[in-house]
Structure 1
Amino acid sequence: MEIKESTALVTGANRGIGYVFARALIARGAATVYAGVRDPASVSGEDLTPLRLDVTVPEEVAAAAGDATIVINNVGVGGFTTKLLTGSFDGARQAVEINYFGTWAVSRACAPVLGTKGLSAADHRLVPAAARRSAGSVLGTSSARSQRRRIHER
Structure 2
Amino acid sequence: MTKTLRKALFVATSLFLSSAACSSELPGKWILTVENPDHVVVTTLKVEFTDKQARSCMSGEWKVVKVVSVKTQDKAFFPSSDHLSYSIEDNQLTIGRNELCDAYLWLRGPLGDSSVKGDYYTFGLGSGSKLGYFDLSKTK
Q: Is TM > 0.5 for Structure 1 vs Structure 2?
A: no
Going by fraction, where is strand more abundant, 1 or 2?
2
- TM bracket (short chain): under 0.3
TM-score for both structures, normalised by structure 2: 0.28
